[in-house]
Structure 1
Amino acid sequence: MTGERRAAETLTEDQCLDLLVTVPVGRVAFTDRALPAIQPVNFVMDGTDVVLRTGRGSKLAIAMRRAVVAFEAGAFDPVTHAGWTVTVLGEARTVTDPAELARLAALPLRVWAGGSRDHYIRISGRYISGRRLWEAAA
């Protein structure tokens, strides 16, 4: 690996959004009892917002009430060391409007964890940034 040239590209917001819809799992960073916490989550994009589902009363649901959070997703190739990462920063809010809940329930959001996951959280896509890394030509 020594001597390899790597190229990094800063992605536009549109490129970031295009990449986010290609992966089903990301990580949300939030504050739990005044300490940083990170949890993997299934998600779906709704415009520039990240939508996820969790159980009512879960640690994640409680911690994310009107909190500013970071969401990150990415994909990497372990052979070529190429990949990308996208970060979404914004306010997380619990969805309570019946019409919005019905619309979100129709989105293709598959939850991998067991148990009831009927609590929807929307993370506003206030700041969206990303980078892509690939091997540069010699």
Structure 2
Amino acid sequence: MTEVSEPVAVLSDDECWERLRTQELGRLVTRIGDRVDIFPVNFVVDGESVLFRTAQGSKLFELTANDEVLFEVDDHTDEAAWSVVVRGHARALDTFAEVERADTLPLQPWVPTLKYTYVRIVPHTVSGRSFDRGPEPDRYGVQQY
């Protein structure tokens, strides 16, 4: 009998962090009341937290009003894909020592704007999935069990 592999696998916490460290662009999800927003941000992993820079505006205001966030990163090739979601709390770095240390990290704005505020997402959970890509099985034929 031929063994059928599962096309979806759960990633361990370590595998999630390994994948996050390979990327620079993610999506920050914020919520205030019934309003949900999503923002693309470039980021860096610092230990087991996510750090990004921002300017004054709606993103920073929303984080001040409700610091609970989701942060999602994914990637794909022709053969495989993955997605990691960080659930946690975001806060602006506010001490000189924190900002001075953050300035040593490889994190620069992607667009030519001044972004003075560093924001750290400290996760309470990290979850991820990996996916083997391929053609859809025959939806109407005999399925292997």
| Contact 1:25–1:40 under 8 Å retained in 2 | yes
Give the structure 1 partner of residue 92 of structure 2: 94
Structure 1 stretches of 4+ with a deviation exceeding 4 A read none
| Structure 1: unaligned runs, 5 residues or longer | none
Q: What pairs with 1:1-138 in structure 2 (closer than 5 Å)?
A: 7-32=7-32, 34-55=34-55, 57-65=56-64, 67-77=67-77, 79-80=78-79, 82-135=80-133
How much is the aligned-residue C-alpha RMSD, in angstroms?
1.7
- Counting aligned pairs with the same residue, the percent is 32
- Aligned residue pair count: 129
TM-score (norm 2): 0.83
Larger Rg: 2
Contact map agreement 1:50 1:123 (CA 8 A) in 2? yes
Query: What TM-score do you get using the length of structure 1 for normalisation?
Result: 0.87
Q: Displacement, 1:58?
A: 1.4
Which structure is higher in RCO with an 8 Å CA cutoff and minimum separation 6? 1
Structure 1 CA distance for aligned equivalents of residues 69 and 114 of structure 2: 23
Contact 1:6 1:135 in 2 (8 A): no
- Structure 2, unpaired ranges of 5+: 135-145
